[in-house]
Amino acid sequence: MTSERCELVPDYVTLVCVLSACSREGKMGMEIFESMNEKYGIKPGAEHYACIVDLLERAGMVERAYEFIKEMPICPPIRNWGTLLNACRVHGKPDLGKISADNLFNLDPRDSGNHVLLFNLLPSTGRWEEADLVRKEMKVVGIKKGAGCSWITVKNWVHFFQAKDTSHERNSEIQAKEGDEGSWVCT
């Protein structure tokens, strides 16, 4: 695409794909992003900005990702703040995580996933009291974390399990095997 002999000119979507593919190679992705308007006449959109936030997060440049979001000429979409909050969880940045969470809560106050991400970030960095406040706030506002679930297919039959659910027809057998060296087998 960058070859002088190449006659193909990328469009808006192609550049989203290229930037997404560059998320593990920061330098090249940033160069493409910075030249896309001048070189190809394509003004960056929300998707392009999201790719760069992801690129910076993967490179461990969490503070730079935050600065990039603040400098965006468009209103940062939810996904940028969500990516930043997750990066803060991964890289242990609670102060920046709280800023990201506040922006997420303003944009979508009822999304339990954002609250759970913040809750998980805080104790992992030793901020237990703040984590308790997040949990209490969730209760006050009426936000509940969805129950964990899993499923397994055995002999073309899907078995669905949800945390603290005892409705499975073979629940007593499953519970009897809990902690046992053996495994539960569907027949």
Is 2 within a domain? no
Instruction: Mark whether 102 and 163 lie in a shared domain.
Output: no
Q: At what angle do helices 78-91 and 62-71 cross, to 10 degrees?
A: 160
- pLDDT score at 33: 93
Angle at Cα 80 formed by Cα 79 and Cα 85, nearest 5°? 95
What pLDDT does residue 50 have? 93
Phi, psi of 179 (to 5 degrees): 80, -10
185 and 110 share a domain?
no
Q: What is the domain count for the chain?
A: 2
Domain of residue 90, CATH code: 1.25.40.10
Residue 62's contacts (CB-CB under 8 Å, 6 or more residues apart) are 56, 84, 87, 88, 91, 93, 96
Q: What is the dihedral of CA 21, 27, 31, 33, to 10 degrees?
A: 50
What residues contact 63, with CB distance under 8 A and at least 6 apart? Answer: 93, 96
pLDDT, tens digit (0-9, with 9 covering 90-100), for 137-171? 888 888 777 666 777 787 877 777 776 777 777 77
Closest C-alpha to 118, from 155, 74, 81: 81
Q: Do residues 54 and 106 share a domain?
A: yes
Do 18 and 69 share a domain, yes or no? Answer: yes
**pTM for this one?**
0.71
Q: Which residue has the tokens 């969500």?
A: 82
Task: Evaluate the CA torsion angle 153, 154, 155, 159 in order and state its sign.
Answer: negative
Q: Which helix (H) or strand (E) holds 83?
A: helix 78-91
Same domain, 116 and 27: yes
pLDDT at res. 187: 46
Q: For residues 135 and 184, state if they share a domain.
A: no
Q: Are 141 and 168 in the same domain?
A: no
pLDDT at 3: 58
Domain annotation covers residue 109: yes
* Separation CA 117–CA 105 (nearest Å): 12
Q: Give the pLDDT of the chain (187 residues) as one tens digit per residue.
A: 555 666 778 899 999 999 998 887 767 889 999 999 999 999 999 999 999 999 999 888 999 999 999 999 999 989 999 999 999 999 999 999 999 999 999 998 888 888 888 998 998 889 999 999 988 888 888 877 766 677 778 787 777 777 677 777 777 777 776 555 555 454 4
- Domain hosting 47: range is 12-146
pLDDT tens per residue, range 124-140: 889 999 999 988 888 88
Do 77 and 162 sit in the same domain of this protein? Answer: no
pLDDT of residue 53: 93
